[in-house]
């Protein structure tokens, strides 16, 4: 462990400690801007050059800036690494080619961001980047838009705080009701994101409150300043806007998308935004959802609503990310017909083909809300004539509030690789963009739980290459974050982190039951949502449990899937165990494919999952003295909380099933 894991700035260096750049920094790197002169190359190239300069100054290597043939540029100095920006190289946007020849590694890109990502590719490889066995290849992102949405408020919200669903302290951007005067940490954040592959950031909460609405107009200067921090790292900023802005900010008496004055207001506003931020990314909109205004008030569709904003942005190349998270949050638990899971599909699929080219419909990965286990949203398979974004959550709203170790790439790679038609086409193939809600705050470790950094890093990397395995990704993150650490650190981290998604699922809501969470979405609350207006999730009675979402006898939700999934989910015979209670209401004694009854499965998984957290906490003690003390202590404290909380989950869920079913635990564990 080294003290430099904590940078002198006071925040943790995450996956870019100086040591991680040392293999490059010890060598001679030539940056070849033959075609694009260094002065005309722009801020991204300048950032790459500054990175190389800083790394070589720290570690004793050398930077050679060449504007012609670099091998001859500096007498007899032969570069170990040549970074080439050549717009005529014919490489894909943001992509780069890597090759090793004559004792030098050469990275070529056709655009500045390609150069940036090529540079970080070299950093990731460490010493391996200078190995003559280095494989040649071209790398390019699978998704052109890899975006983090911040649910940050400027003003502290009375219920949701500074960052809605944030578990890592305050906002990096805002404090005391305004933009932070010192934005150096935002620049450091942007650099970390660039190294992971993220290229877009939305800088405010999709629930746009009064103060935040003004970021679009008279507080636009704040967005300008944020964009300045992100720009050198190839990241464009987006803004969440309120559909009612023409009224609340513009003084109009309507926000009807068919009213010409409304369209003019949006067009004029977009013009002003682009005058101030020429590379502005666009708007993110939550409309007709959980109290946010939207086009329904005027009898218009979501396509009508999205398109009026899209037309304002189109002349400048901007995009509207329009969220499909539209459902009735004033349900009556007595009404057994309404099924929240159906809502996004019912609202949006009839509009397929009606959205403008620069609208992206942003779809949560599941039909409900970022649960531990949901089927993948059928909307993703049902809008072939619409650009779609897959929305994930890095912030651990339902997955342990960054107090529990929950390695999200294990869930995301399952989702990205899911085949809606079981024919080789994946979710990653149908979703043009990949978006996730950020898990970052002003916490010293950025993410509250230091190990949750692996989720943030993993998001960018998977959005770039969905085929990366979560296990390889973890090794990559460990290699960068703990460079030169004792081999035991890697082994312990693998033991603690890999499989943590399955462990969390074991001790929380079983078999695809959702929302068994308590207030704030933390800890067990088996019936907390059951009689609430937000939807009903398990229908447990003395005979059985689960939501009947079949076409035959239930809400018909299974019919929203294409084949073979519509039939697979419909039938008790073929429905996968882990989703059984999402699709079916069954007796407690129903026998799973695993051979266990539902109730015994619940008893066993909860006992085993909670026991596993004890092992995780024990295993962490093996790195005492091998990692920075502050990080060791933080993880240790949080693991203790995870053990406590998992025990609470275990006892409440097991006891609930015992009291409802009357079936004893065959393994004889305690029931209360």
Q: Verify binding: residue 207, ligand GCV, rule CB under 6 A.
A: yes
Q: CA Rg, the chain, in Å? A: 26
d(CA 558, CA 220): 45
CB nearer ligand GCV, residue 64 or residue 363: 363
The token pair at 172 is 């990096």
CB nearer ligand GCV, residue 311 or residue 521: 521
Site for ligand GCV in 539-578 (CB under 6 A): none
Phi then psi for residue 185, to 5 deg, are: -70, -30
Site for ligand GCV in 130-169 (CB under 6 A): 151, 164-165
CB nearer ligand GCV, residue 42 or residue 518: 518
d(CA 203, CA 208): 11
Phi then psi for residue 6, to 5 deg, are: -100, 110
Least distance from ligand GCV to the Cβ atom of residue 289, Å: 6
Count of residues near ligand GCV by CB under 6 A: 9
Least distance from ligand GCV to the Cβ atom of residue 207, Å: 5
Smallest CA-to-CA distance from 485 within 618, 619, 616, 623 is with: 623
Q: Verify binding: residue 325, ligand GCV, rule CB under 6 A.
A: yes
Least distance from ligand GCV to the Cβ atom of residue 329, Å: 8
CB nearer ligand GCV, residue 111 or residue 369: 369
Within its chain, how far is the Cα of 326 from the centroid?
20
Within its chain, how far is the Cα of 82 from the centroid?
33
CB nearer ligand GCV, residue 176 or residue 290: 290
Please check whether residue 21 is in contact with residue 119, taking contact to mean a CB–CB distance below 8 angstroms.
Answer: no
Q: Verify binding: residue 347, ligand GCV, rule CB under 6 A.
A: no
Q: Which residue is nearest to ligand GCV (CB)?
A: 207
Site for ligand GCV in 259-298 (CB under 6 A): 286, 290
Query: How many C-beta neighbours within 10 Å does residue 319 have?
Result: 27
Smallest CA-to-CA distance from 646 within 525, 504, 511, 538 is with: 504
The token pair at 437 is 């809600």
The residues assigned a catalytic role are 290, 369, 397
Q: Verify binding: residue 369, ligand GCV, rule CB under 6 A.
A: yes
Least distance from ligand GCV to the Cβ atom of residue 452, Å: 18
Least distance from ligand GCV to the Cβ atom of residue 321, Å: 12
Q: Which stretches of 314-353 are assigned E, i.e. beta strand?
A: 319-323
d(CA 302, CA 490): 48
d(CA 243, CA 330): 21
Q: How many helices (H) and strands (E) does the chain have?
A: 21, 20
Smallest CA-to-CA distance from 460 within 152, 145, 229 is with: 145
CB nearer ligand GCV, residue 29 or residue 207: 207
- 147: which strand partners? 200, 435
Least distance from ligand GCV to the Cβ atom of residue 165, Å: 5
d(CA 376, CA 458): 20
The token pair at 404 is 């529990």
d(CA 94, CA 119): 12
d(CA 594, CA 583): 17
d(CA 194, CA 236): 11
Q: Which stretches of 378-432 are assigned E, i.e. beta strand?
A: 387-393
The token pair at 513 is 């039951």
The token pair at 389 is 């974004």
Q: Verify binding: residue 240, ligand GCV, rule CB under 6 A.
A: no
CB nearer ligand GCV, residue 86 or residue 391: 391
Please check whether residue 617 is in contact with residue 643, taking contact to mean a CB–CB distance below 8 angstroms.
Answer: yes
The DSSP output letter for 149 is: E
Smallest CA-to-CA distance from 11 within 175, 173, 189 is with: 189
Residues with Cβ within 8 Å of residue 352, at least 6 apart in sequence: 382, 383, 384, 385, 386
Least distance from ligand GCV to the Cβ atom of residue 205, Å: 6
Least distance from ligand GCV to the Cβ atom of residue 163, Å: 10
Site string for ligand GCV, 163-202 (x = CB under 6 A): -xx-------------------------------------
CB nearer ligand GCV, residue 130 or residue 151: 151
Least distance from ligand GCV to the Cβ atom of residue 151, Å: 5
Phi then psi for residue 99, to 5 deg, are: -150, 160
Least distance from ligand GCV to the Cβ atom of residue 522, Å: 12
Least distance from ligand GCV to the Cβ atom of residue 511, Å: 22
CB nearer ligand GCV, residue 205 or residue 600: 205
Smallest CA-to-CA distance from 93 within 130, 146, 129, 40 is with: 146
CB nearer ligand GCV, residue 96 or residue 151: 151
d(CA 274, CA 319): 12
- In the complex, the residues that contact ligand GCV under the rule CB under 6 A are 151, 164-165, 206-207, 286, 290, 325, 369
């Amino acid at each position: 462990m080294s003290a430099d894991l904590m940078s002198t700035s006071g925040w943790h260096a995450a996956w870019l400690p100086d040591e991680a750049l040392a293999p490059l920094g010890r060598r001679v790197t030539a940056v070849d801007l033959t075609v694009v002169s260094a002065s005309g190359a722009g801020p991204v190239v300048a950032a790459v050059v500054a990175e190389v300069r800083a790394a070589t100054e720290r570690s004793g290597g050398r930077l050679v800036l060449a504007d012609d043939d670099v091998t001859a540029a500096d007498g007899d100095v032969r570069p170990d690494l040549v970074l080439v920006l050549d717009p005529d190289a014919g490489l894909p946007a943001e992509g780069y080619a890597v090759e090793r020849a004559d004792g030098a590694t050469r990275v070529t890109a056709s655009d500045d961001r390609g150069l940036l990502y090529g540079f970080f590719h070299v950093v990731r490889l460490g010493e391996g980047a200078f190995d003559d066995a280095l494989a040649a290849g071209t790398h390019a992102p699978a998704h052109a838009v890899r975006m983090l949405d911040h649910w940050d408020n400027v003003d502290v919200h009375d219920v949701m705080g500074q960052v809605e669903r944030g578990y890592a302290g305050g906002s990096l951007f805002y404090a005391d009701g305004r933009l932070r005067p010192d934005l150096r940490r935002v620049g450091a954040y942007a650099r970390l994101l660039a190294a992971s592959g993220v290229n877009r950031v939305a800088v405010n909460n999709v629930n746009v409150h009064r103060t935040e609405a003004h970021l679009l107009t008279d507080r636009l200067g704040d967005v300008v300043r944020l964009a300045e921090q992100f720009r050198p790292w190839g990241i464009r900023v987006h803004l969440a806007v309120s559909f009612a802005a023409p009224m609340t900010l513009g003084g109009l008496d309507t926000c009807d998308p068919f009213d010409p004055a409304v369209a003019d207001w949006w067009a004029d506003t977009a013009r002003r935004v682009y005058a101030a931020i020429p590379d502005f990314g666009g708007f993110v909109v939550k409309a007709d959802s959980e109290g946010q205004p939207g086009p329904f008030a005027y009898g218009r569709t979501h396509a009508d609503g999205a398109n009026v904003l899209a037309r304002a942005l189109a002349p400048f190349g901007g995009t509207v990310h329009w969220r499909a998270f539209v459902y009735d949050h004033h349900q009556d638990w007595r009404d057994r017909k309404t099924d929240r899971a159906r809502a996004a599909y019912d609202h949006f699929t009839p509009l397929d083909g009606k959205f403008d080219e620069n609208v992206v419909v942003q779809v949560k990965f599941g039909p409900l809300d970022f649960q531990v286990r949901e089927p993948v949203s059928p909307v993703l398979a049902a809008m072939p004539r619409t650009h779609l974004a897959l929305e994930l959550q890095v912030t651990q709203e339902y997955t342990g509030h960054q107090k529990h170790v929950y390695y999200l790439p294990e869930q995301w790679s399952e989702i990205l690789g899911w085949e809606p038609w079981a024919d080789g086409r994946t979710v990653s193939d149908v979703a043009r963009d990949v978006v996730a809600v950020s898990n970052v705050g002003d916490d010293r470790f950025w993410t509250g739980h230091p190990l949750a950094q692996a989720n943030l890093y993993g998001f960018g990397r998977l959005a770039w290459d969905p085929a990366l395995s979560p296990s390889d990704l973890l090794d990559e993150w460990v290699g960068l974050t703990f460079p030169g650490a004792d081999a035991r650190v890697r082994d312990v981290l693998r033991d603690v982190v890999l499989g943590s998604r399955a462990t969390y699922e074991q001790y929380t809501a079983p078999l695809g039951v959702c929302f068994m969470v308590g207030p704030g979405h933390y800890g067990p609350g088996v019936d907390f949502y059951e009689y609430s207006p937000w939807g009903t999730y398990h229908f447990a009675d003395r005979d059985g449990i689960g939501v009947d979402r079949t076409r035959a006898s239930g809400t018909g939700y299974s019919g929203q899937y294409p084949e073979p999934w519509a039939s697979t989910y419909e039938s008790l015979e073929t429905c996968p165990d882990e989703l059984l209670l999402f699709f079916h209401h069954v007796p407690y004694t129903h026998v799973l494919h695993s051979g266990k009854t539902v109730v015994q499965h619940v008893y066993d998984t909860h006992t085993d999952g909670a026991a596993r957290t004890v092992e995780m906490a024990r295993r962490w003690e093996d790195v005492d003295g091998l990692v920075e003390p502050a990080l060791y202590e933080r993880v240790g404290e949080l693991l203790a909380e995870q053990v406590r909380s998992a025990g609470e989950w275990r006892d409440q869920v097991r006891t609930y099933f015992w009291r409802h079913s009357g079936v004893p635990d065959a393994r004889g564990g305690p029931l209360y």
